[in-house]
């Protein structure tokens, strides 16, 4: 299940991509399939080991084209172990709401992104997230949990202040909002509640089968209750030194 829409966020074979806070690796795997040179980075060692296993399995199965590479590594989002201007593309999906110093993370992403490079940022959307917080303290008051809820214009302004140029946004995963409302209402750790189990089966069926009816329904509902807000931006090229008119002959 991808949150980034690659029709709005073009990726070319050979692009060097950083999936920052990669989690289980869903975006990193898609970039690998598209022929990118992928680095999946997360502070969770267990998840990084699993991502590395999946990268190896994908290579063995021939799922990635020739020239594509994939590396999984532990790292700190506030101190990325890469030189300046190392990546053509940076993706950070459902991560910034967990990090107190979100401006510091944005600064690090800008540092490692090449001029002209592209960045995709996804966070939980304000409205659906407020419902979750209202229904359950346990949803967010946990170690490593969500510490803030972004309004769309607030996030876009932070991206702009970091030196990037936003160029588009959208909402995603409308069908997942009711699932999380149910989880919060019945208990975030209570997977046995009948409404939660039934809705989970629906989501699994939708992800596996991709029926037209639910695809159309989600597209229609995304602007209203999409669970995630997605923003895209580019890093501008530095302006050329001004022509002083001096004779350099």
Question: How confident is residue 243, by pLDDT bands cut at 50, 70 and 90?
Answer: very low
pLDDT at 245: 45
Task: Return the pLDDT at 143.
Answer: 81
| Confidence check: pLDDT of 92 > 70 | yes
Give the relative orientation of helices 176-186 and 126-135 as an angle to the nearest 10 degrees: 20
Name the token pair of 101. Answer: 């110093």
Residue 137 counted as domain residue: yes
pLDDT in tens, 132-161: 999 999 999 888 889 999 999 999 999 999
Q: Is 207 among the domain residues?
A: no
In a domain, 67, yes or no: no
Q: Are 44 and 12 in contact (CB under 8 A)?
A: no
Task: Identify whether 133 is part of a domain.
Answer: yes
Kindly state the tokens that stand for 107.
Answer: 């600064």
Question: What are the backbone dihedrals phi and psi of residue 35, each rounded to the nearest 5 degrees, phi first?
Answer: 95, 15
- Of 123, 130, 131, give the one whose Cα is nearest residue 158: 123
Q: Are 45 and 51 in contact (CB under 8 A)?
A: no
Strands 228-234, 113-124: pairing kind: antiparallel
Does residue 93 fall inside a structural domain? yes
Q: Is the pLDDT of residue 78 over 60?
A: yes
Per-residue confidence at 244, pLDDT binned at 50, 70, 90?
very low
pTM of the entire predicted model: 0.92
Whole-number Cα distances in Å, 212 to 4, 30, 192, 215: 20, 22, 29, 5
Query: H or E segment at 47?
Result: helix 45-61
Provide the Cα torsion 6, 83, 159, 35; round to 10°: 0
Give dist(CA 28, CA 46) in Å, integer. Answer: 16
Domain CATH code at residue 231: 3.40.50.150
Nearest CA to 77 among 136, 29, 19, 142? 19
pLDDT of residue 240: 57
Sheet holding 165-172, edge to edge: 69-74, 37-42, 16-20, 87-93, 113-124, 228-234, 165-172
**Count of domains observed in the chain:** 1
The tens digit of pLDDT for each residue in 173-202 reads 999 999 999 999 999 999 999 999 999 999
Q: Which domain holds residue 116?
A: 76-173+227-235
**Is residue 203 in some structural domain?**
no
Say what percent of the chain tops pLDDT 70.
Answer: 96
Give the chain's mean pLDDT: 94
Q: Are 89 and 119 a contacting pair, CB within 8 Å?
A: yes
Cβ pair 37, 8 in contact under 8 A? no
Distance from C-alpha of 87 to C-alpha of 19, rounded to nearest angstrom: 10
Task: Classify residue 122: in a domain, yes or no.
Answer: yes
pLDDT of residue 242: 56
Asked, for residue 12, whether it belongs to a domain, the answer is no
Query: Per-residue pLDDT tens for 32-71?
Result: 999 999 999 999 999 999 999 999 999 999 999 999 999 9
């Amino acid at each position: 299940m991808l949150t980034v829409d690659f029709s709005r966020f073009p990726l070319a074979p050979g692009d060097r991509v950083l999936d920052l806070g990669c989690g289980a690796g869903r975006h990193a795997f898609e970039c690998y399939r598209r022929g990118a040179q992928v680095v999946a980075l997360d502070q969770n060692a267990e998840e990084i080991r699993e991502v590395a296993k999946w990268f190896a399995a994908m290579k063995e199965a021939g799922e990635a084209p020739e020239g594509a590479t994939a590396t999984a590594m532990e790292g700190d989002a506030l101190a990325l172990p890469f030189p300046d201007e190392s990546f053509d593309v940076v993706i950070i999906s459902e991560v910034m709401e967990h990090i107190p110093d979100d401006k510091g993370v944005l600064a690090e992403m800008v540092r490692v992104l090449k001029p002209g490079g592209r960045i995709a940022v996804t966070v939980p959307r304000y409205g659906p997230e407020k419902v979750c917080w209202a229904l359950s303290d346990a949803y967010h008051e946990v170690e490593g949990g969500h510490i803030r809820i972004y309004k769309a214009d607030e996030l876009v302004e932070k991206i702009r202040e970091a030196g990037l140029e936003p160029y588009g946004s959208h909402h995603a995963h409308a069908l997942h909002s009711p699932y999380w409302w149910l989880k919060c209402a019945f208990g975030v750790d209570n997977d046995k509640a009948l409404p939660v189990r039934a809705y989970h089966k629906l989501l699994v069926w939708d992800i596996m089968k991709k029926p037209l009816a639910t695809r159309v329904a989600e597209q229609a509902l995304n602007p209203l209750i999409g669970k995630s807000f997605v923003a895209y931006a580019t890093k501008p090229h530095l302006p050329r030194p001004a022509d002083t008119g001096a004779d350099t002959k």
